Structures are given as C-alpha cells and as structure tokens.
Structure 1
C-alpha cells in the first residue's frame, strides 16, 4: 500500500467514522493508489486515519460487499485481481454508462465547465510530455478530467454509478498508466482527450461519446495485452 497516499489524508474527526473511512478507501481505489492483488493492513489504515479498528472493519465490509475489496481466509484483505472476463464486462459497462455521460455533458456543459476540463487535460499533457514523465500526476489529471466530464452532465446518480465501476476498474487502469509512463506521451489518451474537448465545444454529443469510447477501448485493449489479468 502506498504510505504517502494514506498519510496525505490526515486524521479524521469522530463523526460518522465508518462513512468517512469508506470514502477515503474508495478514493484510494478509484485513484489507483491501491493496486490489484495488494494486501491492505487494517492497522495501518487505522493509524494513518487516526481511528480505531472498528470503523476500518466496517468500511472494509462495505467495500467487500461492493466487490471492491476481497476478504481472504484468515481475515486478510486485498484488492481483487480481475479476471479477463470480469475486466471485459466492466469495460462494456463503462462504454455504455460513461459514453452516455459524455453525450449528456456535450448537451448541457457550460463554457466554464469545459474550461475546467481543458485545465485537467493541460495538466495531463504536462505530466505526460515531461522529460521524465510524471505518471502519478498524469493518473490524477486523467481521473479529474473524466470525473469533471461526468459531473458536468448534471446527473449525480449517474456519477455514483460510474464511481462504482471505477472502484473495480480503477486499480488496474491506473496501475497500467503508472507502470508504463512513456506510453503517455503522444498516446491514445492524448488524442482522445483532444477529440473530446473539441466535441464538447461544438456541442456534438455523438462525437463526444465516440471520443470517450475510443479512450476507454484503447486503454482496455492495452491492458489485455499486458497479461496482468487473471485467466
């Protein structure tokens, strides 16, 4: 587990601790700070967040029920390793749900919202095109761009659905980006993001969906080729 990721969140107050610990762990999973197969030390989590073991166990139970964490024999906890079939199912669902969000965003996003997306894309390009690519910054900028897009559709329940998909897909998606930072510069994500922003500015819903689908599909195809998925 990435110690800096937990240390950065700081101690929590004693109000609704189960919910808040769940939220922190959700964000670590979505952000790819916890990788597939990585074991989670509940004591380490409790110490980093300044809470007792009880809310941590509660949070783990919730995330295990969602399939985002896996409780092994002996009560060990780890991030699940997706099978190829599971990954392909998640990809199909992401194409449908996130593609729809991109269409809706193209119809309703205002200029200010589009410029926020452009800012995240600029940050992604800076990280990707640096002499020594900053994979962590690129991962963060990519996530911020995607979720700013989905929020701009103005459908909070849709964003919740997408977050649930990223809970399972996030670790493998971001592990791929972190392990191969050189693939970022001039890669498919840069091209797809540019096409997405152009479609949003033109209010072209079909083109926005196509750009988002191209982004997800290219990343998924590469991940399948790396052999990091279970049979």
Structure 2
C-alpha cells in the first residue's frame, strides 16, 4: 500500500503545519516503514496541496531526524541502528514509565475507561484467527497515548511524541511481523497487567508493566535483525531541496 493512500486531502492550501501533522501521525503510528521512499509530488497530490508546504513539512521532519534526505535528494524514512534503538528504548522506559506512574494517580474515571476501551479493542483483535496488524498497531498507539495524556504533563508528552516520531516506523515491527509473534500474545499479557494496575491506582505496578511491554517488543525487534547492525556515518549536508 502506498503511503499516499493513507493521507487525507487538506481543505486549506497554506499549511505546512497540517502536512506536518499528517506525516507525524503516519510516523508515530508505524504506518511508514524504515527505508520507505516518499515522493513530494505524489504526497502533495494526495493531500490536495502544492509541493511547497509538503517540502516545508518534510524539511522540518528531517531536522527532527524523523525523515532523511539522501545524497541524491531522495526523501525516505531512516533506518535505525541497534545502538540508536537501544538508546531510544532506554529513554522511553524512563519517560513513558514516568508518564504512566503519574497518570495512574491523576486520571479521571472516564479516562481510565478510555484506556480500558482501547485494551478491549486490542484484545478483541488479538483473539481473531488472523489479527489485522494495522488494527493492532493503531489500538496499541491509542492505548499508550491515552495513558500518557492522563499524566497532564504536556512537556513530557511532547518528549514522548518526539521519540515515537523517530522510532514509530520500527516500533511496531512485532505487531506486523506475522502470526508467530502475534500468536505468542506477549503484548496482550503486558497490556492486561498494565490496565489492572491502572484500575487499582498502583502507580509502580503500572510503571513496571509498561516498561516490560516496551522492553519485550524491543528485545524481539533486535533478535530478528530488523535493525541496521552498525551506526551510519553522520549525513553530509546536501544542497538543494528534496525531490
């Protein structure tokens, strides 16, 4: 499926911010793959805008290391090395663990019910004979961010979003890797422990379950060789704009 089929045409013509938001959602939700190339013209056509706001948005994302411009000015989703992935995973366990512990203490009942709803949708999809990986990825992302928003710590939420922006394309590899990993129901077990802890208002148990969920997925991604073994040299600044 082409990435251009995943975006929604925009109603206004001026806004690189709107384009940025759509790219951001695709990256965070894991709907763009590492190494995937992106055509500015095709994306602009899918969004119903000129190339200029798309170019502005992708240059912003490139500055945030969420996209990269190759030496021939091709735009693509970066591949991630093992060491980069380990570093981001370590940061995630701390920041997302902090957000989870805080939200467990502060969420209103309605917010907890929303978390439970996403867990139930994830569980229902997992129970199918052939779970839809795209649905699992979406429900997983919504579950996590429903929890993080409940912490009422906007700066922390921004930091978490920045990490997911870079790691999203690889983060959900275990949920789209086929029946073997999904069949193990590992994420479901961690989510169940997480939701129970939140319902019990047990902040430390919730933090522990969340961190176990992150580390389990990370260990699997590393074990199957889904990452680049060595760090790439720093990119050489290129003249001109991406294609």
Question: What number of residue pairs does the alignment pair up?
Answer: 229
Shift of residue 182 of structure 1? 4.1
Shift of residue 85 of structure 1? 0.5
2:34 touches 2:169 (CA, 8 Å); kept in 1?
yes
The residue aligned with 1:36 is 34
After TM superposition, list the pairs within 5 Å mapping 1:75-114 onto structure 2: 75-114=73-112
The residue aligned with 2:58 is 60
2:173 touches 2:221 (CA, 8 Å); kept in 1?
no
The residue aligned with 2:123 is 125
1:129 touches 1:185 (CA, 8 Å); kept in 2?
no
The residue aligned with 2:212 is 214
For the residues of structure 1 that align with 2:50 and 2:116, how far apart are their CA atoms?
41
Identify if the C-alpha distance between structure 1 residues 8 and 224 changes in structure 2 by more than 3 Å, giving closer, same or farther.
closer
For the residues of structure 1 that align with 2:179 and 2:40, how far apart are their CA atoms?
30
After TM superposition, list the pairs within 5 Å mapping 1:166-177 onto structure 2: 166-177=164-175
Counterpart of 2:176 in 1: which secondary structure?
Answer: helix
The residue aligned with 1:151 is 149
In structure 1, list runs of 5 or more residues that go unmatched. none
Q: What stretches of structure 1 move > 6 A for 4+ residues in a row?
A: none
In structure 2, list runs of 5 or more residues that go unmatched. 230-243
User: Quick check: 47-56 or 176-185, which moved more?
Assistant: 176-185
1:102 touches 1:209 (CA, 8 Å); kept in 2?
yes
2:176 aligns with one of 175, 178, 190: 178
2:96 touches 2:148 (CA, 8 Å); kept in 1?
yes
For the residues of structure 1 that align with 2:14 and 2:158, how far apart are their CA atoms?
20
Shift of residue 6 of structure 1? 3.7
- Alpha-carbon RMSD: 1.4
Output the TM-score relative to the length of structure 2: 0.90
Identify if the C-alpha distance between structure 1 residues 8 and 74 changes in structure 2 by more than 3 Å, giving closer, same or farther.
closer
For the residues of structure 2 that align with 1:47 and 1:109, how far apart are their CA atoms?
41
The residue aligned with 2:9 is 11
Shift of residue 43 of structure 1? 1.1
For the residues of structure 1 that align with 2:73 and 2:6, how far apart are their CA atoms?
26
User: Quick check: 126-135 or 51-60, which moved more?
Assistant: 126-135
The residue aligned with 1:187 is 185
